[in-house]
Structure 1
């Protein structure tokens, strides 16, 4: 039994590796190349050292043009033989259309015209229109560093009316399949190449890239894009995005090329070389399952035969349901449970609301119509479309939307070629309505619902009065940029980026000036450009103006339609949507989502009663405060009168007890001196001496009394000075030596007259006891202040006594009573022959509030 051709090819490759002396990699690292199966149309292993490169498919089309520096025989993955390098060129400027880059073409030479087209019977899709295009690639530099317009992978892109498709890597980091003008279809797919995770793009690594189309024309997401890193040992291809073809490809042929585009007319060369290696290129007539590729073990693949059984057109469902896919509030997803009767409740303020909705399952009939209304904002139902859009809104003085017009962009614009650089802009003119209250316009260029992908470019915006198109009311409509070297990250004056991914909005730098661009390859995000401009002059009567702009686009509409409302004020609304999915298709109930936006607190129902209740409460509080203040004032007056009465009573008591006694003694002594003046002059002299001492003590007592009632002395520092002076005077001519430990600087802490009077008398009585009873000795007087507590200690080294035998002697009871009267404590310690210590501790009185 002869060996199969594929087995012979593997044996020869293995033998070549051994003969070349290359080290053999472990078995797990070897890969088995693609085999021809029932779905294979063309298969190029690219193992030849030079042209032609054989086609292992059932209708072979060898590749005969290895041109412009393309180099064969480069090492591929172990087990896959060799690959072709496209890193060279034969002249021109990288990034310009005159670059003559490396290319592998079906024709031996490229010419301007259809002479280099692949033959007319070349098959590149299956019987039902389905196809899979796949390659193995190894990028040597990242897309943004390539320095070329784009990096071509597989294309059939001619020089005239033979432009069919282009499968390539965009400089912005997208993998894209584009249906070109003469293929009979519109749309395509655009997906962001991973930059993180196991399949992140990196230089020097091998990736499997593929695009599949299932043949279900017009159905959203009928096209899929895959990007898979090989060394991760994947179990299936890594899906990175979806797209839509409006129709099957029509079978026309153009210039078939690998690793570049094969366009060669005047002014355009092969300007899209792939900066790396390409191997194992296959075209299949089915949309292969994600497991049906060479890097998946054969036993784990879903073969094309099994797939063919389910590849027929899907059955028409009996009923389609119109569903609300998502709601965005201020560009963030609203938290909705989807339960019937649910109400979307939002806080007060102006809100932007985006509603994404569509049919489920996807209808087969292309004649799908959807209409929506935000009841309370829209006066009539609005018809919606898929795709990207330019929205014009009229704003009043309160910045609220009072009219809106939406202009969609879906499919491919007239003059679209392959990208912004080679496409022609077309002029679009639309009427817009401005109510009399309009004072400003807002323009938004949006990438639409998140599952919409594609490219849109806008420039030369103008708003004018009909018949006066030369004078535009919109400033900077041709989008000039301040500075000499604009970059894609710049923003024209007055414009800003917005959306869940503002990077989708970038500045397209063209030879004739910059333009607003949207490049959306992410089916989970959206971006937009927004600008607001005031209208010159005062508000006029309602009028119709002309909005015009240049545009170029290739937009793949997603499954969902989007309705956007900006600056929705507080109130109660209901979003409604209805749809028709074909003349004979039943559809379910309409969408109805109640929305409640809270009014400002001053407009709420409870605010009036709350204000009234608050006013009453404030009046009552003010009256209560007034009465309380009057009561407090009366209480203070009573306290003052009471304190005054207490001071008067204390002064009267002191004058009676002390001064009165001294005056009585003085009078009695004077009488005795007068009696004895003639009888006993010596005795009379003693009486006079006693009168002198009594008079002196009376003056001292008067000084103490005056000091106690003088408000100028109502401070702690004055008390310290008084005690110092008192001790100095008392022991001046005595055998007792007095030592003071009183701080030189005490705080000017206010003290009541009663407080310092009691303190002063208690100290004076204690010092007097020392003078009278201690004998010749030393006495120590110390004063300290800590945490609002005053501590005084009087200690002598005199005779001492036994307090138990004299419980009330030496005036000790009076001293203790005075200290306790002001809330303090009194402690005495004495013993015969060891002196006496007295400690007075008093809390300073509270300051008046």
Structure 2
């Protein structure tokens, strides 16, 4: 933080080293340095106009930007309600006191524009509080706005964040300049830096963009002022005088006081009789400035080389800017569907075309050329049952309405009536209040919209023509029922409430965006015909240099937008401009769709037939697979019955015959044969139980296999000299296993344990069972006699057991040597669980 402050101090010091106060030149009408400790404040202009009234808490001698002396603070008041018109805010004016009448007017010889009507008004300012938090009606900079018939102009900052210059009714001029003060970037408004605010007028009345607005953060190395917007004066000032004031407006009559105090400090106020070039201000090094004489020379040379070329400046598709074709004659291609198209065109900001009229046409939509108009507008469109526009009428707003004062809040609403034609077949009507091309700025407000048949004004077909204050509309983003915001900056569309009544409004100070209110209502005009559209309005609109043509719900197809200029008695001027565009048809309307659909249907039928055959074949294969598995189980059971139970039955039969033979000859021997028969019978029961376990599907799970192996080991070593230790998890998941898998694995383990019992002698045996989610590992180990596997190629189950394991896809390994015991490891990957 300290480093930032040091850098800021160094930057201010470097700026102060270059800056000095304004120096009057031949075009300076008035210049107030405001360095005096108290009123009066000297004027360096000719003839000078002293400023004698420092009132309502305004404080002189305040610290200014280094190099500029001192300044005056206007962040004070002497009573009234903050944010209301009765606030008596700080003010500096020409006369000692504010008066309700002409007593506080400047003298008749006070000059505030040059011989050709041109002027530049400028001041240096620093905010203590940002405008939105100031609690004032507006933030006055320089004004000649008094009471009665002496209201000339107001140069101020609106609470919404606009820099505005507003000609007032008694000044003779009309128009507006309005621009959004930056909130980001190098010139963003804040309460830390000093700013230079200026407005200039070049004296060319009625020419678009003849007003320029500047907002510049004062810092090192500036080469020109930062232009933030422009506007238009349709006529210059008449020379009438009024209440001249700095930092406020000098209005004092019942219910209206000095309600626009500047929330901070003002210094170096200058009025010039020319439109100064952006480089011709005090913060630019003298050697880099362009003098008014040089500006006039450039303008004269430009007039000798008029540029009559039309330009298509912007194209908006559904309020977004598409990528225009790079090659000349290339077509703009748009996605399928209905689109809104906005075209902005003109002669450019420095050559607005004078009295040249423009006509445009969208070939494929317009049957004839349409004359274009600038400014904001109310558009009435008749829609058919497919929501296509079948008729359109535009009513422009440009200049000021008859009841306009200073702002929307204090301007009187006037009634306007216009004829509209609604064709037969109209099912809905759309009204759009739009701010026109992006370089159009100003204010418009509408209320009491009505659509009626001639002679029947009381029966309005438009149902929501007045805006009622409600929970929804009172919100900042609220919208009246049936209305919606649109445009590249929908925030331009606002609601204004005054005395409990609501108004649709457009407040546009942004020269890069546009906004819109729109509403669609069903309508049945009884066959169509002429109707009367009326509304109440108040507006002050400054048109830019661009014209706008709007087309809504343009269907798929090929079009060409054309613009031509008309000069004199209708002769064409130049070659005009054109832009081909193609809105793609939906895929079902394209030529290839029918054949592709037919081919697709044939393919679907064929695919369905093939799928049916595949399903039938799959069922057959599954039946064969099941039958084969059944046969395998039968073969396995038969083999087990023959190999195990059959052998045991044969042994029992032979033993019974021997017992019968020896019963009379050698009873003791006969008893031994009977004992052997009993053991064989018991073993046969165990083997039969193992066989039943192997074929029972209820045991086809991992946990059942582990339980079975535990039981087999315990029973096998119960009365033997072998001590068996088990390491088998107590809890295992019931993962499904195939009957063949568990049967072979169980027999392989049983055979290995049997070999320990038969051949290892008294020892310890170990059986461990490990499961990792994918495979099981069985380890069978003993500490018995051991043997040499190479010397025992057969016997001990050394051939049968590995074959069983390999049959189920497992691995079998044995390690043994005489006197060191035996270790067998079996690893089997579990079969995939069927999904």
Instruction: Indicate the TM-score class for this superposition, using the shorter chain for normalisation.
Output: 0.7 to 0.9
Alignment of 1:782-793 (within 5 A): 782-793=768-779
Aligned twin of 1:66: 53
Deviation for aligned residue 1:449: 1.1
Alignment of 1:23-62 (within 5 A): 28-29=16-17, 32-45=20-33, 55-58=43-46, 60-62=47-49
Aligned twin of 2:201: 213
Q: Distance in 2 between matches of 1:248 and 1:655?
A: 120
The correspondence for 1:442, drawn from 430, 435, 445, is: 430
Q: Distance in 1 between matches of 2:154 and 2:411?
A: 15
| Residues 745 and 483 of structure 1: CA distance in aligned 2, closer, same or farther (over 3 Å) | closer
The correspondence for 1:579, drawn from 565, 568, 571, is: 565
1:457 matches 2:420: no
Q: Distance in 2 between matches of 1:69 and 1:795?
A: 106
Q: Distance in 2 between matches of 1:659 and 1:255?
A: 126
Q: Does structure 2 conserve the Cα–Cα contact (< 8 Å) formed by 1:735 and 1:775?
A: yes
Q: Distance in 2 between matches of 1:299 and 1:550?
A: 54
Q: Distance in 1 between matches of 2:766 and 2:185?
A: 86
Alignment of 1:604-615 (within 5 A): 604-615=590-601
Aligned twin of 2:578: 592
Deviation for aligned residue 1:205: 5.9
Q: Does structure 2 conserve the Cα–Cα contact (< 8 Å) formed by 1:127 and 1:285?
A: yes
Q: TM-score when scaled to structure 2? A: 0.85
The correspondence for 2:538, drawn from 544, 552, 555, is: 552
Alignment of 1:554-703 (within 5 A): 554-583=540-569, 587-665=573-651
- Which stretch has the larger CA shift, 796-805 or 685-694? 685-694
Deviation for aligned residue 1:336: 1.6
Aligned twin of 2:343: 355
Q: Distance in 2 between matches of 1:677 and 1:76?
A: 138
| Residues 237 and 728 of structure 1: CA distance in aligned 2, closer, same or farther (over 3 Å) | closer
SS at match of 1:321: coil
Residues 759-779 of structure 1, C-alpha deviation per residue, up to 9 Å, x if partnerless? 444444444444444445554
SS at match of 1:587: strand
Q: Distance in 1 between matches of 2:69 and 2:648?
A: 133
SS at match of 2:467: coil
Number of residue pairs matched by the alignment: 822
1:134 matches 2:122: yes
Q: Distance in 2 between matches of 1:277 and 1:750?
A: 85
Q: Distance in 1 between matches of 2:88 and 2:688?
A: 122
Say which one has the larger Rg: 1
Residues 518-565 of structure 1, C-alpha deviation per residue, up to 9 Å, x if partnerless? 222222222232333444xx7853344322111111111100011223
Deviation for aligned residue 1:580: 1.7
1:506 matches 2:494: yes
| Residues 52 and 764 of structure 1: CA distance in aligned 2, closer, same or farther (over 3 Å) | closer
Q: Which runs of 5+ in 2 are unaligned?
A: 1-12
Q: Distance in 2 between matches of 1:783 and 1:92?
A: 92
1:480 matches 2:462: no
| Residues 311 and 252 of structure 1: CA distance in aligned 2, closer, same or farther (over 3 Å) | farther
Q: Distance in 2 between matches of 1:87 and 1:792?
A: 90
Q: Distance in 2 between matches of 1:533 and 1:169?
A: 38
Deviation for aligned residue 1:286: 2.1
Alignment of 1:173-572 (within 5 A): 173-203=161-191, 206-230=194-218, 232=220, 234-262=222-250, 271-274=259-262, 278-310=266-298, 312=300, 314-315=302-303, 317=305, 320-337=308-325, 339-360=327-348, 366-482=354-470, 486=474, 491-511=479-499, 513-535=501-523, 540-572=526-558
Alignment of 1:146-161 (within 5 A): 146-157=134-145
Deviation for aligned residue 1:214: 1.8
Q: Distance in 2 between matches of 1:426 and 1:807?
A: 117
Q: Does structure 1 conserve the Cα–Cα contact (< 8 Å) formed by 2:175 and 2:541?
A: yes
| Residues 723 and 471 of structure 1: CA distance in aligned 2, closer, same or farther (over 3 Å) | same
| Residues 314 and 552 of structure 1: CA distance in aligned 2, closer, same or farther (over 3 Å) | farther
SS at match of 1:333: coil
Aligned twin of 2:9: none
SS at match of 2:347: strand
Q: Distance in 2 between matches of 1:51 and 1:718?
A: 106
Q: Distance in 2 between matches of 1:160 and 1:61?
A: 26
Q: Distance in 1 between matches of 2:292 and 2:651?
A: 137
Q: Does structure 2 conserve the Cα–Cα contact (< 8 Å) formed by 1:454 and 1:554?
A: yes
Deviation for aligned residue 1:355: 1.1
Structure 1 vs Structure 2 CA RMSD:
4.1
SS at match of 1:477: coil
Q: Which runs of 5+ in 1 are unaligned?
A: 1-24
Deviation for aligned residue 1:266: 6.7
Q: Distance in 1 between matches of 2:332 and 2:686?
A: 90
SS at match of 1:132: strand
| Residues 76 and 306 of structure 1: CA distance in aligned 2, closer, same or farther (over 3 Å) | farther
Residues 282-328 of structure 1, C-alpha deviation per residue, up to 9 Å, x if partnerless? 33332222233333343333334444434549525456122110112
Q: Does structure 2 conserve the Cα–Cα contact (< 8 Å) formed by 1:66 and 1:108?
A: yes
Q: Distance in 2 between matches of 1:763 and 1:204?
A: 87
| Residues 541 and 662 of structure 1: CA distance in aligned 2, closer, same or farther (over 3 Å) | same
SS at match of 1:497: strand
